[in-house]
Structure 1
Amino acid sequence: MAHFDIPFSVLDLAVVGSGSTPGAALSGTIELARRTEQLGYQRFWVAEHHNMPGIASSAPPVLIAHLAAATRSMRVGSGGVMLPNHAPLVVAEQFGMLEALHPGRIDLGIGRAPGTDPVTAQALRRTANALSVDDFPEEFAALVGYFSSANDRGVHAVPALGNKPDVWLLGSSGYSAQVAGMLGLPFAFAHHFSATNTLPALALYREQFRPSARLTEPYAMVCASVVAARDDERARYLAGPGGLSFLQLRQGRPGLMPTPAQAAGYDYNEMERAFVADRFANQIIGGPDTVFKGITSLLEQTQADELMVTTMVHDPSDARRSHELVAELAELSPPASRSSGDQAAYPSVADPSGNDAA
């Protein structure tokens, strides 16, 4: 099998499975970060979710600090921080501190949507006036500005000033794609839950891209849902809980991640079965040959510069094995075995001077 010749990375949500606990889920995420670093993955991101019993990654900066301390060279970051939920100053201080503690290893992926229900969003921002899409450019500019200067009210974000992480824009539609392109920023697209928008959004990003101090050319990362196992049947069995969990979320009853047996025994009605089948149609699920073909097809269609893999299964050991199989298929190189020439295949998009402007 051919080397894909692009970096592979990981998105993890610290899934809390039925019969488990948030503490165990977070421990599993830290162990997964260690293992994927050993395998040669480029970066490890965690996502912000609130009011969801089955996801423990509600506070990415706290978890990122632990991940960075538990690993040596892998980039770690947020995929992402949902800016409408937070004051830009707070985000700048948190990620400035992370960058100061772990120089050159912190990614700040920013999303423009709350990513949660309206009641939870109001509790996070402590106001009934929710931020809209129209507020995002101003909020984002304020956030980025804190890393290079005081704002117009003389507020200094300490220790953000001079400690700027690697800033990304995240998206699942064309809006963030265009903003990322116009600002000359790297762009991460959520193919794993918005597959119909993937190609149009990437096209917009590349069309709108303007070179910046940060990037001279577009840099697009695609995040795909992948479950790899010894064969197709086993992979579909392990993927079952992810489908049922997403169905329950859409029905307004989020809970812990079901076991594979619970998912296999669930009595789906016709509409529910169609919903889950549609969900799985845009995921890469199978044994080695199936997964290799799926990844190859996705990369050929998207021409992504980097692939981020997310694996939603009940048991952390099954998630680790899935990432191990993907690493084997992609022929990733462990950090210690990469030669100086190999490092060029794992680019950092950040300006080494730290003076990149958004």
Structure 2
Amino acid sequence: MNAPRSVLDLAPVRSGSDHAEALADTIAVAQAADRLGYERFWVAEHHGMPMIASSSPAVLIGAIAAATERIRVGSGGVMLPNHSSLVVAEQFGTLVALHGERIDLGLGRAAGTDPVVSAAIRRGLAETVDDFPQQVIELLAHFGTIPALESGEGSRILALPGLGDAPQLWLLGSSDFSARLAGMMGLPFAFAHHFAGGAMTEAAMRLYREAFTPSVVLREPRSAIAVATAVAETPEEARRIALPQSLTMLKMRSGQPLGRIPTVEEAEAYPWTDAEAAWVDQRLALQAVGTVEHVEARLAELLAQTAADEVILAPQGADRASRIAALEALATPAAG
């Protein structure tokens, strides 16, 4: 399979650990991905979640870029409605000025948190997900990718750094909205199969290609698919590695979020109902969890089904060693 491989890491905070260790683990995983030849390494914006330490993507991206040499580093993604487009342009323009063309800016339109925390981030401002398309246009203007926009007073607003320091910009999504928008705007698109899965994946990727209109950014569609991944010598052991994050997602979906991500032993000790265990099996069947041979076949199947140009692995182990082991098992040859 010749499609480039990348990594999405959520800086998980496991039981018995703390934020400092979680962030150190993520940087170590990024260094391994760099050494192993992966295309890009992304972190995501989440707020108010004790099990995730990546609340400030720009800061974490800077630390990762400084600790790596070749790999692209970016956001998967920045939740744009939480922020001023100007501030995001300045942050990522600064990252480009510091680290050159290695920086990616993936944009999502969700809040990445609950409404109370979201309101605190925005300080009561009226910015909503409905403003997302306009914010993307503002960002493109701030970076100088499209002509500058005029303010109400007729003066030009400049992002410095930012203007002339454009990162590679992607739209992210787990539904058809961002797929259609990315296509209409002629931007790269990454689908969160690791989160959504199911029939929506193929539908969104097809919609992106059908809606695609060439732009100053892209002449042809460019897409990626993020897939939850765990690798072991047996299917049972791979499921065991993925169990802590599966339990975490299950509890979040049921409105009973956990604190830290449980250890494998804690997840195994949880009193699973038959329905909960079946939900986990169904979720993992949609992802790429199992032996190396099964995972490779599943990745190839997903790429064929979606016509994606790139696969983004989301390693499911909460500890550093299991995430790096998965990347080693699935590594592609180092880039030139």
Corresponding residue of 2:120? 123
Q: Report the Cα offset of residue 147 of structure 1.
A: 1.2
- Distance, in Å, in 2 between the alignment partners of 1:130 and 1:278 is 36
- Distance, in Å, in 1 between the alignment partners of 2:215 and 2:17 is 46
Corresponding residue of 2:138? 142
Q: 1:29 aligns with which of 11, 26, 34?
A: 26
For 1:288-330, what per-residue CA distance to the aligned partner results, in whole angstroms no more than 9, with x for missing partners? 1221221121122112100000012221101100111111xxx
More displaced stretch, 243-252 vs 22-31: 243-252
Q: Report the Cα offset of residue 45 of structure 1.
A: 0.4
Corresponding residue of 1:192? 194
Q: Report the Cα offset of residue 112 of structure 1.
A: 1.1
TM-score norm. by structure 1 comes to 0.89
Distance change (3 Å), C-alpha of 1:158 and 1:128? closer
Q: Report the Cα offset of residue 22 of structure 1.
A: 0.9
- Distance, in Å, in 2 between the alignment partners of 1:322 and 1:228 is 6
For 1:79-99, what per-residue CA distance to the aligned partner results, in whole angstroms no more than 9, with x for missing partners? 000011111111011000001
Corresponding residue of 1:273? 277
Q: 4+ residue stretches of structure 1 with deviation over 6 A?
A: none
For 1:214-269, what per-residue CA distance to the aligned partner results, in whole angstroms no more than 9, with x for missing partners? 21111110110010122222211111101111112123323211111111111012
Name the SS of the counterpart of 1:155 in structure 2: coil
- Distance, in Å, in 1 between the alignment partners of 2:141 and 2:258 is 37
Whether the aligned pair in 1 keeps the contact of 2:206 and 2:306 (CA below 8 Å) is: no
Structure 1 portions without partners, runs of 5+: 339-358
Q: What does 1:106-117 correspond to in 2, within 5 Å?
A: 106-117=103-114
Q: Report the Cα offset of residue 117 of structure 1.
A: 0.7
Whether the aligned pair in 2 keeps the contact of 1:96 and 1:158 (CA below 8 Å) is: yes
Structure 2 portions without partners, runs of 5+: none
TM-score norm. by structure 2 comes to 0.94
Corresponding residue of 2:333? 333
Whether the aligned pair in 2 keeps the contact of 1:240 and 1:260 (CA below 8 Å) is: yes
- Distance, in Å, in 2 between the alignment partners of 1:273 and 1:245 is 13
Distance change (3 Å), C-alpha of 1:32 and 1:100? same
Amino acid at match of 1:163: D
| 1:236 paired to 2:239 | yes
Q: What does 1:1-358 correspond to in 2, within 5 Å?
A: 4-127=1-124, 129=126, 131-133=128-130, 135-148=131-144, 151-153=149-151, 154-196=156-198, 197-252=200-255, 253-327=257-331, 332-335=332-335, 338=336
Amino acid at match of 1:152: E
More displaced stretch, 293-302 vs 36-45: 293-302
Distance change (3 Å), C-alpha of 1:19 and 1:310? same
Name the SS of the counterpart of 1:109 in structure 2: strand
Q: Report the Cα offset of residue 28 of structure 1.
A: 0.7
Name the SS of the counterpart of 1:104 in structure 2: helix
- Distance, in Å, in 1 between the alignment partners of 2:134 and 2:295 is 41
Name the SS of the counterpart of 1:195 in structure 2: coil
- Distance, in Å, in 1 between the alignment partners of 2:157 and 2:127 is 24
- Distance, in Å, in 2 between the alignment partners of 1:167 and 1:128 is 25
- Distance, in Å, in 1 between the alignment partners of 2:220 and 2:136 is 21
Q: Report the Cα offset of residue 271 of structure 1.
A: 3.3
More displaced stretch, 212-221 vs 121-130: 121-130
Q: Report the Cα offset of residue 170 of structure 1.
A: 0.5
Name the SS of the counterpart of 2:330 in structure 1: helix
Q: Report the Cα offset of residue 150 of structure 1.
A: 5.2
Aligned residues: 328
Corresponding residue of 1:354? none
